[in-house]
């Protein structure tokens, strides 16, 4: 359901588990939740919104896959529960003054096969991503790495071909996990190989179409973690089934709570809702389609849409209007006054439209998908709002797969997108705004290529000084608002539903909500 983070988005038979199962059986039968578990041990049933297509650690195959991989793998760094970078397999790192060399000191950690995590493993893992034939999602970003040296078993020296300030953020992504060099050699090309990582849980079993199980890794480098004996990730593609599974205690936690069900989960005394705002909805334009080639027209669209209509129609009121560029508060580039650059103003919208030469409006095709209610309903709300300024919108609602294909082919006048940035560094904007060689991509407004924006984004990537960077992204936001290649609609609430007996799970705030699977290492069930 996410175009960025969520593309296209077994029980073991030992006696311990039978006991747990028995407890759950009893729990389901009695309908009460009066059971207490020891602080450590226990099983977590995690209902996921889909089955991963692959567990290949270098490919972003959507949130369910990430959630599972964040139990199995760790990187040099990761995003922690507070959304800040957390040093994981790297005990520390230094950046040279010219920002061209990163030196990582590794901590004493072990992979699930018992072998130590060495500099060789780090080198092999990163080179697997940057290899010429690699299909890694972040190959382009990490392609800036020129060479990797391993002076000793615990030191890794990474040299870049040019300064690239956001590097450490890209290394914190789940797709930059460190896996054993020997595993890569033997299984690197096998999509069905049993994964081995250095994370808190080791892969146990995958029953296709049903569930994937991981079990506690006793050799995890964080003392006393994880607390759970095992985690069952159960796949529930249907959102109503997923919610019912939580309500009837079939599972303890679910991802992607549908907005319509949020209030009933809040009202349930056994359940709680963990929400954050971070993902956003926006309109993306084909800038070759004539009216949308003009910035005034795109601005007019922004003024014309009552954000409350979208929030209420598609999200049951669970979201916040967005009248600027979607930069979360606290992220670089955010400023309070520019956050509300636009407002809902129909006469201003008409005025801009007339100025651009369309006093009577025009017709346009809006691409969305019928497969997901919130995408569909956002499109319906936008259609109704734009009718008020004379833009007659024809909806194009194929299934998700068809929508992705049209998006990638540039086959749209404008489209509804729901997404978030990948990283907490402002370079996340490049993926959306940069023009460059490939002008039709999933996440950019087709054919949009603004030299000023490209230059600012290039400069932001190589500037080390934080204050200087802040200024660059300030200028970027000004230009982005003026050009408005995207019209941002709203921040939407993104929620997990939890049984109250689950402790320690965090919905990581901001864009990083889709990486919350990391915090399963802290989870305990009472």
Partner 1 sequence: MTASIAGALLLIGRKLLTAFIQLLVIATLIFSVMYIMPGDPVLLLLGADSNPSAEAVASMRTQLGLDQPVISQYFIWLWKALHLDFGVSLVNGYPISRYVLANLPRTLELAFAAIIIATLIGVPLGIAAALKRGSLRDTALTSIATVGISVPVYILGTLLVLLFSLKLGWLPASGYTDISRNVAEHFRKLALPAFALGFGLAASIARMTRSSMLEILGRDFVRTLRAKGMSERRIIWQHVLRNAAIPIVTIIGLQLGNLMGGTVLVEAMFNWPGLSTLLVGAVSARNYPLVQGSMLAIAALFILINLVVELLYSLLDPRIRRKRA
Among 98, 208, 224, 269, binds partner 1 (CB under 8 A): 208
**CB of 331 vs partner 1, minimal distance in Å:** 20
* Residue 135 binds partner 1, judged by CB under 8 A: yes
Among 48, 76, 136, 381, binds partner 1 (CB under 8 A): 136
Helix (H) or strand (E) holding 281: strand 271-285
The pair of structure tokens assigned to 29 is 């039968």
**CB of 287 vs partner 1, minimal distance in Å:** 17
* Residue 3 binds partner 1, judged by CB under 8 A: yes
**CB of 334 vs partner 1, minimal distance in Å:** 23
Count of Cβ atoms closer than 10 Å to residue 383 Cβ? 17
Is the Cβ of residue 345 or residue 411 nearer to partner 1 in the bound state?
A: 411
* Residue 51 binds partner 1, judged by CB under 8 A: yes
Question: Pattern of binders to partner 1 over 353-382, x per CB under 8 A?
Answer: ------------------x-----------
Asked if residues 169 and 423 have their Cβ atoms less than 8 Å apart, the reply is yes
> How many residues at the interface with partner 1, by CB under 8 A?
62
Is the Cβ of residue 143 or residue 474 nearer to partner 1 in the bound state?
A: 143
**CB of 442 vs partner 1, minimal distance in Å:** 5
Question: Pattern of binders to partner 1 over 168-207, x per CB under 8 A?
Answer: ----------------------xxx--------------x
**CB of 316 vs partner 1, minimal distance in Å:** 19
Measure the CA–CA gap between 157 and 134, rounded to whole angstroms: 22
Among 16, 19, 25, 94, binds partner 1 (CB under 8 A): 25
Chain centroid offset of residue 409 CA: 23
Contact region with partner 1 (CB under 8 A), list: 18-26, 283-291, 319-327, 474-482? 18-26
Helix (H) or strand (E) holding 299: helix 295-304
**CB of 392 vs partner 1, minimal distance in Å:** 24
**CB of 69 vs partner 1, minimal distance in Å:** 13
Among 49, 57, 130, 137, binds partner 1 (CB under 8 A): 137
The pair of structure tokens assigned to 348 is 């201003």
Residues 272-301 that bind partner 1 (CB under 8 A): none
Helix (H) or strand (E) holding 492: strand 486-499
Please report which residue ranges of 388-492 form alpha helices under DSSP H: 400-409, 428-433, 451-462, 466-483
Asked if residues 184 and 129 have their Cβ atoms less than 8 Å apart, the reply is no
Measure the CA–CA gap between 29 and 23, rounded to whole angstroms: 10
For residue 455, what are the CA distances in angstroms to 3, 100, 450, 466? 25, 20, 9, 18
Is the Cβ of residue 144 or residue 349 nearer to partner 1 in the bound state?
A: 144
392-396 and 486-499 strand pairing: unpaired
Measure the CA–CA gap between 406 and 395, rounded to whole angstroms: 13
Residue of 351, 320, 487, 321 lying closest to 414 (CA atoms): 487
* Residue 84 binds partner 1, judged by CB under 8 A: no
**CB of 405 vs partner 1, minimal distance in Å:** 5
Among 5, 213, 275, 513, binds partner 1 (CB under 8 A): 5
Contact region with partner 1 (CB under 8 A), list: 213-221, 271-279, 298-306, 396-404? 396-404
**CB of 98 vs partner 1, minimal distance in Å:** 29
Question: Pattern of binders to partner 1 over 230-259, x per CB under 8 A?
Answer: ----xxxxx-xx--xx-xx-x---------
* Residue 260 binds partner 1, judged by CB under 8 A: no
* Residue 210 binds partner 1, judged by CB under 8 A: yes
DSSP 40-107: S--EEEEEESS--S---TTS---HHHHHHHHHH---SEEE-TTSSEEESSEEEEEE-TTS-EEEEEEP
Measure the CA–CA gap between 204 and 211, rounded to whole angstroms: 11
Q: Which residues of 68-82 are buried (b: 16+ CB within 10 A; e: fewer)?
A: bbbbbbbbbbbbbbe
Measure the CA–CA gap between 119 and 121, rounded to whole angstroms: 5
**CB of 134 vs partner 1, minimal distance in Å:** 9
Binding residues (CB under 8 A) for partner 1: these are 3-5, 7-8, 11, 13, 18, 21, 25, 28-31, 51, 53-54, 59-61, 133, 135-140, 190-192, 207-210, 234-238, 240-241, 244-245, 247-248, 250, 371, 398-402, 404-408, 431, 438, 441-443
């Amino acid at each position: 359901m996410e175009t960025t983070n969520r593309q296209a988005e077994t029980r073991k038979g030992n006696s311990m588990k039978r006991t747990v199962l028995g407890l759950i059986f009893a729990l389901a039968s009695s309908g009460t939740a009066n059971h207490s578990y020891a602080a450590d041990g226990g099983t977590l049933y995690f209902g996921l919104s889909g089955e991963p297509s692959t567990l290949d650690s270098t490919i972003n195959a959507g949130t369910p896959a990430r959630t599972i991989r964040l139990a199995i793998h760790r990187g040099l760094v990761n995003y922690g529960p507070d959304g800040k970078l957390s040093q994981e397999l790297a005990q520390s790192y230094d950046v040279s003054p010219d920002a061209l060399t990163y030196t990582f000191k590794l901590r004493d950690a072990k992979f699930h096969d018992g072998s130590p995590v060495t500099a060789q493993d780090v080198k092999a893992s990163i080179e697997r991503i940057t290899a010429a034939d690699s299909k890694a999602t972040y190959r382009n970003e990490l392609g800036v790495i020129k060479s990797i040296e391993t002076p000793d078993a615990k030191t890794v020296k990474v040299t870049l071909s040019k300064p690239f300030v956001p590097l450490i953020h890209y290394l914190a992504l789940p797709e930059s996990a460190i896996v054993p060099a020997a595993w890569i050699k033997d299984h690197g090309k096998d999509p069905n190989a049993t994964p081995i990582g250095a994370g808190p849980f080791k892969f146990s079993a995958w029953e296709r179409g049903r569930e994937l199980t991981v079990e506690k890794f006793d050799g995890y480098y964080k003392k006393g973690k994880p607390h759970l004996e095992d985690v069952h990730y159960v796949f529930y593609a249907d959102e109503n089934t997923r919610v019912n599974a939580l309500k009837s205690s079939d599972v303890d936690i679910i991802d992607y709570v549908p907005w319509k069900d949020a209030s009933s989960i809040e009202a349930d005394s056994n359940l709680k809702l963990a929400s954050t705002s971070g993902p956003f909805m926006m309109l993306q334009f084909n800038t070759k389609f004539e009216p949308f080639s003009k910035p005034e027209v795109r601005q007019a669209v922004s003024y014309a849409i009552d954000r409350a209509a979208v929030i209420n129609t598609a999200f049951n009121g669970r979201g916040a209007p967005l009248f600027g560029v979607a930069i979360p508060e606290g992220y670089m580039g955010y400023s309070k006054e520019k956050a509300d650059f636009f407002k809902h103003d129909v006469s201003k919208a008409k005025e801009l439209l007339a100025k651009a030469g369309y006093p009577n409006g025009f017709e346009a095709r809006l691409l969305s998908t019928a497969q997901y209610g919130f995408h569909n309903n956002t499109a319906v709300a936008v259609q109704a709002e734009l009718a008020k300024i004379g833009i007659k919108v024809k909806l194009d609602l194929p299934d998700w797969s068809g929508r992705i294909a049209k998006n990638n082919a540039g086959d749209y006048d404008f489209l509804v997108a729901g997404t978030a940035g990948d990283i907490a560094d402002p370079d996340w904007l490049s993926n959306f705004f940069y023009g460059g060689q490939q002008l039709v991509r999933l996440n950019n407004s087709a054919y949009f290529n603004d030299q000023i924006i490209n230059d600012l984004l290039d400069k932001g990537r190589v500037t080390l000084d934080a204050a200087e960077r802040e200024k660059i992204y300030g200028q970027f936001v000004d230009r982005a608002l003026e050009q408005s290649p995207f019209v941002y609609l709203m921040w939407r609430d993104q929620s997990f539903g939890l049984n109250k007996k689950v402790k320690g799970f965090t919905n990581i705030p901001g864009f990083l909500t889709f990486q919350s699977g990391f915090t399963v290492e802290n989870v305990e069930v009472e």
